[in-house]
Amino acid sequence: MASVAGILQQMRDQPHGVRFTDASKVVTHYFGEPRQDGTSHKVWKMPWAGDPRVNLQRGKSGKAKTYQVRQAVQAIDTLMAERAEGHGESQANETAATVEVSKDKPKKPATKKSKKAKPKTQKRRS
């Protein structure tokens, strides 16, 4: 069985090749038991304000989704930095508010789709 440190290094180096069970093990090590488990998702609550969760979802072939692995690594890095600095609860909340946990692709702005007019059909004359 791989160590948490070894799996975390793999998550940093190759986020696309991490098994869901391994990623779950690492996140549970740092953030405790998930608040949601038993579905296709596992969700962990974060100890700071802002985006208060890490979400992992089983992807193809039992792998964790790549963008979620990156989010988990970033959340772990934030937690480790706060521990190293010895921040109190209120300072941790201020720090976390400035840290962006998500590195998703930016969402496209919503555009209103116009309905295309259906071409009128002509009746045949008999």
Q: Is residue 113 part of a domain?
A: no
Four-CA torsion 70, 11, 59, 78, nearest 10 degrees: -30
Average pLDDT over residues 10-31: 92
Alpha carbon 41 to chain centroid, angstroms:
11
Q: Is residue 14 part of a domain?
A: yes
Q: What is the C-alpha to C-alpha distance for residues 79 and 72, in angstroms, rounded to an integer?
A: 11
Output the six-digit token pair for 69.
């692995």
Q: Is residue 51 part of a domain?
A: yes
Q: Is residue 118 part of a domain?
A: no
In this predicted structure, the answer to whether residue 113 has a pLDDT above a threshold of 70 is: no
Q: Is 12 exposed, middle or buried (0-12, 13-18, 19+ CB in 10 A)?
A: middle
- pLDDT confidence bin for 84, thresholds 50/70/90: confident
Question: Which of 52, 98, 47 is closest to 71 using CA atoms?
Answer: 52
Q: Is residue 79 part of a domain?
A: yes
Is the pLDDT higher at 118 or at 60? Answer: 60
Alpha carbon 38 to chain centroid, angstroms:
17
Domain that holds residue 83: 4-98
Beta strands in the chain (DSSP E): 41-45, 53-57
Q: Is residue 90 part of a domain?
A: yes
Question: What's the domain count of the chain?
Answer: 1
Q: Is residue 38 part of a domain?
A: yes
Q: What is the C-alpha to C-alpha distance for residues 65 and 73, in angstroms, rounded to an integer?
A: 13
Q: Which of 66-70, 92-96, 113-117 has the highest mean pLDDT?
A: 66-70
Average pLDDT over residues 55-74: 90
